[in-house]
């Protein structure tokens, strides 16, 4: 695996002509890479220190529209600049793009030189610092599920995303023959990500036609989120390069299973798994029990950060391997939280609520904040559920709509204390805008249902 680049290594690559372009990127509210392409020499001369961007980049929607209602920026304030400060520890080659390297940036206020509190990377860093103050290092992994389609993106857009045809014709869960047919994309994805310093473990077919899953090694929380974001971006670019398309939409078809991004979490203390106690039930330490209890207690409060769009809630369907209940279980995929690695040093909790459309920084930060709150409160963990949790009416429901989840976040005293009022208000407005846009849309379903019969 190629290590991330040092500035000296970049200078050498620039001198040899092997790298001529540096992508200088921030992560926006939707978890996408936004930024500039620098000539490598200008980056080496001064760009490695800082560059600037319009502050609307952390206040736009998926369409890059500029909604009103944000305290941080507006037409009235004139849409000023943020400072993009490259985090040189993230500097790496992008082997799937010729002659190109990438660096991720932290976002700083141009006037105060303080971090922007609602920047996704800053939100996660804040929770990592809370962990450190309590003596822990958070460890995480995300599973990236996505669908591949036969047709390139431009053609799909021109046909209004109608008559979508997955790249394969039948369920390919763990299926070697079917996934062999997709290797022009997946082999290039695995190998070039590995060359970029992202510790890819494997890919596999998932439980639907045309569905793949990419797994990256467990890592410290910030590295996990960075790896997730770059890998998701690479998947789209490599599929496009191969004449196909990829989507991380949570639910692209009502009759097909959705795409998840399960998040695995544990805490380390002094290099050891603080969740493990060999003499405790299931191997769960008291620390882990409190942590999981906190996640369960506050799950509804932060669901909107695990399911940020109208479409996200279409995935929560009984019998689809997507959860519908806020409950924990021992190795049971029908619950919202699943204990993995029972009674081993690899013990961890998996949250199965997030879809593939998450911003990993926000999802990871929320899960961490709730767990730490559980430790602080010494929250009591109820016994695990068993059997078919879908039909267990004693368990609370995951919020079933964006409207419900947005309201829960807005009213959450816990989230306002953990993230700050300004951050919560910012992401509440983001979710409200998504709902407003949907509410004024006229869908194909409405037209087909009522055009003649209404």
What is the residue-level pLDDT of the chain in tens, covering all 454 positions? 456 899 999 999 999 999 999 999 999 999 999 999 999 999 999 999 999 999 999 999 999 999 999 999 888 888 889 999 999 999 999 999 999 999 999 999 988 999 999 999 999 999 999 999 999 999 999 999 999 999 999 999 999 999 999 999 999 999 999 999 999 999 999 999 999 999 999 999 999 999 999 999 999 999 999 999 999 999 999 999 999 999 999 999 999 999 999 999 999 999 999 999 999 999 999 999 999 999 999 999 999 999 999 999 999 999 888 999 999 999 899 999 999 999 999 999 999 999 999 999 999 999 999 999 999 999 999 999 999 999 999 999 999 999 999 999 999 999 999 999 999 999 999 999 999 999 999 999 999 999 999 9
Q: Which of 186, 373, 411, 202 is nearest to 292 (CA)?
A: 373
Q: Is the pTM of this model over 0.85?
A: yes
Do residues 341 and 332 make contact, with C-beta atoms less than 8 angstroms apart? no
Q: What is the pLDDT of residue 1?
A: 46
Cβ distance 27 to 112 under 8 Å? no
Residue 288: alpha-carbon gap to chain centroid: 23
Return the ∠ at Cα 382 (arms to 380 and 387), rounded to 5°. Answer: 160
Per-residue confidence (pLDDT) for residue 74, from 0 to 100: 83
In the block, residue with structure tokens 């004024």:
440
Q: What is the pLDDT of residue 2?
A: 54
Map out the domains of the chain as residue ranges: 7-116, 127-445
* CATH class assigned to 127-445: alpha beta
Burial group, residue 256, by CB count within 10 angstroms (0-12, 13-18, 19+)? middle
Q: Is the sign of the CA dihedral 258, 348, 399, 118 positive or negative?
A: negative
State which CATH number among 1.10.287.130, 3.10.20.70, 1.10.10.10, 3.40.50.2300 fits the domain covering 7-116. 3.10.20.70
Contact present, 50 and 84 (Cβ < 8 Å): yes
The reply to whether 7-116 and 127-445 are identical in fold is: no
Please report the pLDDT score of residue 73 as a whole number: 87
């Amino acid at each position: 695996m190629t290590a991330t680049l040092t500035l000296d290594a970049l200078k050498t690559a620039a001198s040899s002509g092997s790298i001529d372009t540096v992508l200088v990127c921030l992560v926006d509210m939707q978890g996408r890479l936004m930024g500039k392409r620098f000539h490598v020499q200008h980056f080496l001369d001064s760009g490695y220190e800082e560059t600037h961007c319009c502050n609307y980049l952390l206040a736009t929607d998926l369409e890059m529209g500029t909604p009103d209602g944000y305290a941080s920026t507006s037409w009235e304030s004139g849409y000023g600049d943020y400072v993009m400060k490259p985090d040189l520890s993230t500097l790496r080659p992008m082997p799937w793009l010729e002659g190109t390297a990438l660096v991720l940036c932290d976002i700083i206020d141009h006037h105060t030189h303080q971090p922007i509190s609602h920047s996704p990377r800053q939100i996660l860093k804040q929770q990592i610092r809370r962990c450190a103050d309590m003596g822990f290092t958070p460890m995480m992994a995300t599973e990236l599920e996505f669908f591949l389609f036969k047709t390139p993106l431009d053609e799909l857009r021109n046909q209004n995303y109608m008559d979508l045809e997955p790249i394969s014709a039948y369920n390919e869960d763990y299926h070697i023959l079917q996934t062999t047919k997709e290797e022009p994309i997946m082999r290039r994805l695995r190998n070039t990500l590995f060359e970029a310093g992202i510790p890819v473990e494997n890919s596999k077919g998932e439980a639907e036609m045309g569905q793949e899953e990419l797994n990256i090694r467990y890592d410290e929380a910030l590295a996990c989120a960075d790896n997730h974001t770059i890998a998701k971006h690479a998947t789209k670019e490599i599929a496009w390069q191969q004449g196909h398309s990829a989507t991380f939409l949570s639910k692209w078809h009502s009759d097909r299973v959705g795409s998840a991004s399960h998040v695995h979490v544990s805490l380390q203390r002094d290099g050891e798994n603080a969740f493990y106690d060999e003499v405790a039930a299931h191997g769960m330490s008291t620390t882990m029990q409190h942590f999981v209890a906190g996640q369960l207690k506050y799950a509804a409060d932060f669901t909107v950060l695990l399911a940020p769009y109208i479409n996200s809630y279409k995935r929560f369907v009984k019998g689809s391997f997507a959860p519908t209940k806020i409950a924990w279980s021992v190795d049971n995929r029908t619950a919202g939280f699943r204990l993995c690695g029972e009674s081993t040093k690899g013990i961890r909790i998996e949250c199965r609520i997030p879809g593939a459309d998450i911003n990993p920084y926000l999802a990871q930060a929320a899960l961490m904040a709730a767990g730490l709150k559980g430790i602080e409160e010494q929250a009591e963990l109820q016994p695990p559920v068993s059997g078919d949790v879908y039909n267990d009416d004693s368990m609370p429901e995951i919020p079933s709509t964006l409207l419900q989840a947005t309201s829960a976040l807005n009213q959450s005293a816990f989230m306002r204390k953990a993230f700050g009022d300004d951050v919560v208000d910012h992401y509440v407005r983001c979710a409200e805008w998504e709902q407003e846009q949907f509410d004024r849309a006229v869908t194909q379903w409405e037209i087909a249902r009522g055009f003649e019969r209404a």
